[in-house]
A and B are shown apart, each in its own frame.
Chain A
Amino acid sequence: MDNKPLRMIAVIELLAVFLIWELLAGFQWFPTYLSSPIAIIKSMGELWADGDLLNHIGFSLFRSLMGFLLVVIVGVTLGILAGYYRRVGTFLDPIVNTLNPIPKIALLPILMVWFGITDTTRILIIFLTAFFPCFVATRDGVKSIKQVYLWSGQNMGASTFQLLRKIVFPVTLPKIFDGLRVSLGLTFVMMFSSEIIGAANGFGLGFLILNADLGGRTDYMFAGVAFIGLLGFIFDKLLLTIRSKVLWWDVNKV
């Protein structure tokens, strides 16, 4: 478990990228609209000092995490049912296989007609995008359960509900977490996309970036992007932490 050298390499790599970027910007080899890292960090500081940043982050997080919560509930439940009951799986397959390749952002105008320029629309578009990795991973995880686990459960008199809750769910958890990790990343991707509607008023990092664009402040745009990246990074780490706590028994855990 010697991760230290690897971590050092990652840090050095990041610093090197920033250094080269900064130098290129310093020598003016970059056009001015590619702000230098130091300028971006300064802008991040300015945004932080300005009270609105927490609001932007708060609203963005609310939308992402609500979408993610829906993914967890609906994706895992449907995934387990589709994996366990062949009929449910067969029923859902054509729907999933047609919806999955559609860029969900194409549905945004339709959702806007239905739900208006609201957070409902935004959360739904996040959910629709992030749903599939979680659903597919859960369904396939359930399908690959060792038969003897289910047989053992039946042998000990478990009902179908008990089998699903006390065997299928825990044994599929590693796969579920794999799917959720991809889904979580997508919720942050879609958070920005969902905020391109109704940018003139309201809060959110997407709005922040678009407003900076209108105001010609590339440094603020980069700062907004950096904040999204930072949030994505933090929540990915958070998910991994929860995963290793929950899956303490899993020999293959990260």
Chain B
Amino acid sequence: MTKKHAAMEIENLRKVYSTKKEEVVAIKDVSLTIPEGKFVSIVGPSGCGKSTFLHIVGGFIEKSSGKVKVRGKEVEKPGPDRGMMFQESALFPWLNVFDNVAWGLDIQGVAKKERNEIVEKYLKLVRLWDFRNQLPSQLSGGMRQRVSLARILAFDPEVLLMDEPFGALDAQTREEMQVELLRIWSESKKSVLFVTHDIEEAVFLSDTVVVFSGRPAVISEVIDIKFPRPRDLNLYKSAEFRDYRNQIWDMLHQEHHKPVQIVSEVVNG
């Protein structure tokens, strides 16, 4: 071990969609480094390419050029080193909660006894152990996303990728989920790359907020959020919180009128 790698390093990532008539640059040479154990959010207007960016890091969408490294190892395909949480529930409707969480462990050939212990541990962590025999269709949207989180944590990825995981939830459930996520995250301390269009959600959760401006996606600003942890919902009411929020809000709305071209920025750990 000569050099300690960052959790995620994205270098000059570019995504070009080719149609018959033209080439559309969706992501233009974005570089971003997520240090170990940090919670980093990307905010940006819808359609700015932030979700595409995350899907490329996850290996679900092919990049046009650039590099994606997880702990120094370059990635091309989806893999269990990156746990991806999607906006819509990706739980398998034909399996109950327990079997959903056990699925990835079975794939990786974890012995049954150990597997059961892991499933129990994470279902208890998300406080849904009592619901282990229920089907996903019998759960609320918030509960489904908690199961999704348990399923991802169970196969022990090196980093977490989250694509607007609470986007489909109502405002109150979303706030509860944010608190839950921070509690669970504080126990696992895995690095998180979190995509959202909700500025307040990003400020509340993150160590660093990366502001994307759209079409093509470039990083227009990187803001460190200097609130101590653990955080609770009272944070929403503080003046500093509103300052952060307004700062980012202004940035997004400026973007709307006159796009600036800062090609890349690096988050330093």
Contacts and interface: CB of A to CB of B under 8 A. Distances in A.
Contacts of A250: 93-94
A156 B78 CA distance: 8
A101 B79 CA distance: 44
Interface in A160-214: 162, 166-167, 170-171, 173
Given A162-B107, A170-B94, A249-B93, A157 B79 contact: yes
A148 B151 CA distance: 14
Contacts of B88: 146, 148
A158 B107 contact: yes
B60 A154 contact: yes
Contacts of B59: 154
What 3 A-B pairs have minimum CB-CB distances, sorted nearest first? A156-B104, A154-B78, A148-B90
B137 interface: yes
A18 interface: no
Nearest to A156: B104
A233 interface: no
Interface string B55-80: 00011100000000000000001111
Interface of A: 146, 148-149, 151-158, 162, 166-167, 170-171, 173, 247, 249-251
Contacts of B90: 146, 148-149, 151-152
B94 A156 contact: no
A247 B137 CA distance: 14
Interface residues of B, number: 27
A148 B60 CA distance: 10
B82 interface: yes
Given A148-B86, A151-B60, A151-B84, A170 B92 contact: yes
A153 B95 CA distance: 14
Interface in B86-132: 86, 88-90, 92-95, 103-104, 107-108
Given A154-B60, A156-B104, A249 B80 contact: no
Main secondary structure of the interface of B (DSSP, over half): loop
A151 B104 contact: no
A151 B78 contact: yes
28 contacts: A148-B90, A149-B92, A151-B84, A151-B86, A152-B84, A153-B107, A154-B77, A155-B58, A155-B78, A155-B83, A155-B84, A155-B104, A155-B152, A156-B108, A156-B151, A156-B155, A157-B79, A157-B107, A157-B155, A158-B107, A167-B92, A171-B92, A247-B94, A249-B93, A249-B94, A249-B95, A249-B137, A251-B93
Nearest to B100: A152
Interface of B: 58-60, 77-80, 82-84, 86, 88-90, 92-95, 103-104, 107-108, 135, 137, 151-152, 155
B92 A156 contact: no
Nearest to A154: B78
Given A151-B60, A151-B90, A167-B92, A157 B137 contact: no
A155 B82 contact: yes
Contacts of B137: 249, 251
Contacts of B84: 151-152, 155
Contacts of A167: 92
A173 B82 CA distance: 30
Contact of A156 (B60, B86, B107): B107
Nearest to B86: A148
B107 to A, nearest CB: 5
Contacts of B155: 156-157
B163 to A, nearest CB: 10
A171 B94 contact: yes
A176 to B, nearest CB: 13
B110 to A, nearest CB: 11
Given A149-B90, A170-B92, A156 B135 contact: no
A80 to B, nearest CB: 16
A155 B92 contact: no
Contacts of B82: 155
Contacts of B78: 151, 154-155
